[in-house]
Structure 1
Amino acid sequence: MASLTLSLVGCESEGQVDPNNPPKLVLDTYTLNIDGGGGDIPLYYGLSNPVKGGEFEVLSTESWVSLKEVTSSTIVLHIEASNSNEERFAMVTIKYPGMEPAVKVTVLQDKQLLNKFSFDVSNVTYKSCTVKYKPLDKNRPYMANIIDAEYFKQSGVSQEQSFVEAEMSNYRALAERNNMTLEELMGRVSPQLIYTGDAERQFVGMQPGATYVVYSYGISFSGNNYELTTPIHSTVVELPMPEMYDVSFNINCKMSGTTASISIDPGEWTGYYSVQIAPDDSLHYIEPGTQITDSAIKSLASKFYTSARNAMKGGASAEQYLRANCYTGFRTLDVQLQSNKKYMIIVFAVESKDGEVPVMRSMPSFKYI
């Protein structure tokens, strides 16, 4: 039984009911069909001829239905998530002084939602995050993973089935190279991908400022394949950019024909810096006088990060990449340019910590040619 006191002011003395005009309660619905997930469900009402000091009393035949609150226009019922494999039924009775008969509401709830996943994302930095995967069905095997959202743009994959088939194909090829079945591979691969029950994964070495998609789906192995046993569930994680150092570069340029002599003074910055030269028909060129946007900064950072990461995947260390592609101290660079284009010189500080992929660490400085 649940009840809540709500005083509704009427024209009669407190507690007095006009027998010729008794209170009448009208609801927007008298039958609630609720899914297995439950939730807080409002019943919108209108009350005519209220009794001064009158209070609603809300009763339920089942404990999984309770009263959350009563407002001036709603009676809010809390429906617990179902843990039953069958539909269930409850009858709610709403009483009010002088109102006869009481109003009844039928609550029908579907069986438990076994296909549902939820995610808790925490400890988000510019290069890492922690994800807790929480399936409602604690006994079903499921995939627990994360992917850079750029994958969907670059691959063109947008359909759920196409994504799973592409992912499975990659794992199957890896299994075949190691003379294993797909199920054997999934049982041995590190980091672990297939779980039952709640799981927690820590993701590191992520791209600063990038958008990632955390996802899960139930699976069932069949031969050298697996099939979806639930729809894909996902959530988006936006990584921040690293904190930027207060670094500014003094850039000067002298032209001799089509050769640009570019001098760069990093001031007090003693670390590495990257130099990008963007022609006026490129993605990274910004018209003079236009303020650089966050997305443009992230795009520059992403271009640098991707280049460094690919080099390191090919066997180079972070220091080797920085020495080969970046600069320190005062430098003068001679660059051949096309005579019919405008150019933008972009310089920003970069840094690698503990041998990790180098990242942008200052706002870019610009010079136009």
Structure 2
Amino acid sequence: MSRYIISVVAALLLSLACGKEASPAVQGDDFSVVDPIIEVSERGAECEVEYRLKGFVGDIMPVAVTEAAWITDIDNTQKGVIRFRVLPNLELQSREATLILKYIDIATQPQITVRQAGAVSERLKIELTDVDYSECSISITPDSDDITYIAMMAEKRYFDERGITNAEELIDSDEALFTSYITDGSTLEEFLTASGLAMQGVGTKRWQDLSPAKEYVIYAYGVDVQGDSYKPITPIYHKVVDKRMPERVAQCFDVEIEAQGPEVTFHIEPQGWEGYYVVQLVEDGEAGYIEQGLPFTAEAEEQVAEAFFYIADHLYYFEQRSAEEVMQQLGYRGEVTYTKSLNANHRYMALIYAIASENGNVPMVVSQPQVEYFSTGAVESSDMTFTVEISNILPRSVDVRITPSTDEPYTAVMMYAKNLPEGDKQQQLEYVMSNYAPLEISGVYEEHIDQLPPETEFVIAVYGYYAGAATTELFLYRFATASDAEGHNKIVKVSFSAYDIAEVVAIEPYYASMMGYADYFLSMDVETLTPAPTLHFELYAKSQYDSYTHAEIRESLLEYSYTSSPDWALCSYGNEYVLCGLAEDENGYVGEMYISEPISFTSEQTSDAAIFVELYKEYVER
């Protein structure tokens, strides 16, 4: 899109926007124009100029040429008239260009001078009405209620990352972004209107969850939206929201840290600070760890403050905690002594810094972090052993029960047998610890494991685990899933019900985050020939279903789709969907694949939203 490619001004504005300055005909009896000077407003216009020509040669018409990119759509098809379009001027400076008329075998070349006014300085007025650490509100006032405009906010670095250096590139980027959001076949014009991105009249916008450590740019521009594209009709106006981090001052803490193996005792006493403070630990190898002896830079200090803000902001806004509750949860107050279990054999950096809230707002870091270093020691070995029972082995699932000989912590990992390398137990233990994230557990552990492939060998690796270190040798238990066969169970019926998302949200706000992504919830209740221990079903968009073979869908269902009935999916009105599903029998075999007829719902076919809320209340309460 050229920055000058702007929409046509309506014909009814022609008399106001395109005025003709009285002037005698340009000299030349054989070829002349009636009005050699055209004055055009900054909004652009459709213009026409009459000419006089003696001696037309057949149907050949004169041509008009210009070097000005902002004069377009030159039309010479009507005898005696040259028509052209002058695009809106998005710059504050006025501009001038010349059109030259030419005709075969005539030396005279009449000229038309086009003068266009510069853009009005403020077609859109942006006013920052409220700015704090994490929120920003604006009002936008256009100089005419007829202007359709778009207002956006972006981090300042966004423009550099996208390589945006001028208005043309920004508008192109925005249009591509908006187009990528459209998933229901609507036009760009329909999407911008329905989403509220395109606005008219005095408007307001509010942004939350901003970082006070970042600079933002709020910008707005008028547009003419036509179908699947739009063109700018004003310059881009903007406001910059600067960093809003509070000043961080020096604050001293008396700190004593003592490590006994992985157990670390902290004693902290603030000096001259009565508020809350945070003790943040960074392990060697983690992002943000600075080797002892290297400087703790201003950039590192800002990163710490910003990282804390994100955590506090989430608790404050999304978990609805008060500032006092946030500081109580994240920090300490006064002199404290406490002990923590950390990972063994690691170096740590402790950052101690003061936090405070201004007027009950999101708590912020208000002091420069004090940096302390310490190291943890090794853990003691254990003589714990394990009993592992593997039962109910089916083609795609198995039950596992692990019983340790003591109450000490341990971990267990299941992997494909082919992935366990050859070597001694110590080498295998090192492989398991470095490639599989451990889950620290204790006592008897039981789990039903599904989504397994048939006739495949697995290994369950179990070992004592505490403070990030192994406390026992590695114990290995092998098994293979059963072979597959054709099952006798199948899905025989699926009942569908639609529930409008807006109506559901009005009753249960939990689902509010799903607004805008779809129109309704589709609830699916599956009936099987015999009770099914496991179901595999998935809802496909009709176009997606048509692009796969039945074999591909069956394979995908068995590999990825494990669900229960009833279940729900997000859908859009008017779109067609197909449900495909399989049901396991008591042996873990699946039978014939169920394929529904294409289904579609409109807003007039929805059911009472209260039914949906009650049906899936356990989903919300998890």
Query: Shorter-normalised TM-score: what interval?
Result: 0.5 to 0.7
Corresponding residue for residue 19 of structure 1? none
Aligned to 1:301: 305
Amino acid at match of 1:285: Y
- Rate the CA distance shift 1:121–1:248 in 2: closer, same or farther, 3 A: farther
* Alignment correspondent of 2:429: none
Aligned CA distance change for structure 1 residues 237 and 121 (closer, same or farther; 3 Å):
farther
Q: CA contact under 8 A between 2:146 and 2:200: conserved in structure 1?
A: no
After superposition, what is the alpha-carbon deviation per residue over 1:62-102, rounded to whole angstroms, capped at 9, x for unaligned?
xxxxxxxxxxxxxxxxxx9456xx8368xxxxxxxxxxxxx
**SS state of the match for residue 222, structure 2?**
strand
**Contact 1:125–1:239 (CA<8 Å) still a contact in 2?**
no
1:122-156 C-alpha deviation (Å, 9 max, x unpaired): 89876677878798999532222323457789xx8
The verdict on how the C-alpha distance between 1:118 and 1:302 changes in structure 2, with shifts beyond 3 A counting, is farther
Q: Where does residue 149 of structure 2 map in the other structure?
A: 142
Matched, 1:87 2:93: no
User: Which residue number in structure 2 is paired with residue 183 of structure 1?
Assistant: 193
Tell me which of 239, 247, 251 is aligned to 1:247: 251
**Distance (whole Å) between structure 2 residues aligned to residue 132 and residue 167 of structure 1:** 22
Amino acid at match of 2:358: K
Match of 1:286 among 264, 285, 290: 290
2:215 is equivalent to residue 211 of structure 1: yes
The answer (yes or no) to whether the contact 1:141–1:195 under 8 Å persists in 2 is yes
Q: State how far apart, in whole Å, the 2-side matches of 1:133 and 1:281 are.
A: 48
- With over 3 angstroms needed to count, the CA separation of the structure-2 counterparts of 1:215 and 1:81, relative to structure 1, is closer
> Following the alignment from structure 2 to structure 1, what is the Cα–Cα distance between the partners of residues 274 and 317?
27
State the Cα deviation string for residues 211-262 of structure 1 (Å, max 9, x = none).
2122223334567x77453686666543142123442222210010121112
Letter in 2 for 1:286: I
Show the counterpart of 2:232.
229
Q: How much does 1:278 deviate?
A: 0.7
Relative distance call for 1:258 and 1:359 in structure 2 (3 A) is same
For 2:281, the equivalent position in structure 1 comes to 277
Relative distance call for 1:82 and 1:211 in structure 2 (3 A) is closer
Using the size of structure 2 for normalisation, the TM-score is 0.34
Partner-residue secondary structure (3-state), 1:299: helix
Q: Is the 8 A contact 1:208 1:359 kept in 2?
A: no
Identity among equivalent pairs (%) = 25
Distance 2:147 2:243 in 1: 30
Q: 1:240 to 1:109 in 2, by over 3 A?
A: farther
Mapped contact 2:141–2:201 kept (Cα < 8 A): no
Distance apart, 1:263 and its partner CA: 1.6
1:293 and 1:239 mapped to 2: Cα distance? 18
Q: Residue 363 in 1 paired to residue 372 in 2?
A: no
Q: CA deviation at 1:308?
A: 1.4
Q: Secondary structure at the match of 2:291?
A: coil
Do the aligned residues in 2 keep the contact of 1:263 with 1:331 (CA within 8 Å)? yes
**Which whole-Å CA distance do the structure 2 matches of 1:262 and 1:164 have between them?**
55
Q: Secondary structure at the match of 1:266?
A: strand
Identify if the C-alpha distance between structure 1 residues 167 and 346 changes in structure 2 by more than 3 Å, giving closer, same or farther. farther
Task: Give a deviation string over 1:14-54, Cα, whole Å, max 9, x none.
Answer: xxxxxxxxxxxxxxxxxxxxxx8xxxxxxxxxxxxxxxxxx
Q: What SS does structure 2 have at the residue aligned with 1:243?
A: coil
Within a 5 Å distance, the mapping from 1:47-126 to structure 2 comes to 81-82=92-93, 87=96, 112-113=118-119
Distance in structure 1 (CA, Å) of the matches to 2:123 and 2:285: 45
Identify the structure with bigger relative contact order (alpha carbons < 8 Å, sequence gap 6+).
1
Distance 1:127 1:185 in 2: 24
Does the C-alpha gap of structure 1 residues 214 and 269 become closer, same or farther in structure 2, counting only changes over 3 Å?
same
Does the 8 Å contact 1:117/1:133 carry over to 2? no
TM (norm. structure 1) is 0.54
- The answer to whether the 8 Å contact 1:117/1:216 transfers is no
Provide the rounded CA distance (Å) in 2 between the counterparts of 1:228 and 1:301: 41
Q: Do the aligned partners of 1:142 and 1:196 also contact (CA within 8 Å) in 2?
A: no
Alpha-carbon distance between aligned partners in 2 of 1:130 and 1:137, rounded to the nearest angstrom: 22
2:354–2:367 contact (8 Å) kept in structure 1: yes
Question: Structure 1: which 5+ runs fail to align?
Answer: 1-35, 37-79, 90-106, 188-192
State the alpha-carbon separation in 1 of the partners of residues 144 and 97 from structure 2: 19
Q: Is the 8 A contact 2:92 2:121 kept in 1?
A: no
- The structure that has the greater radius of gyration is 2
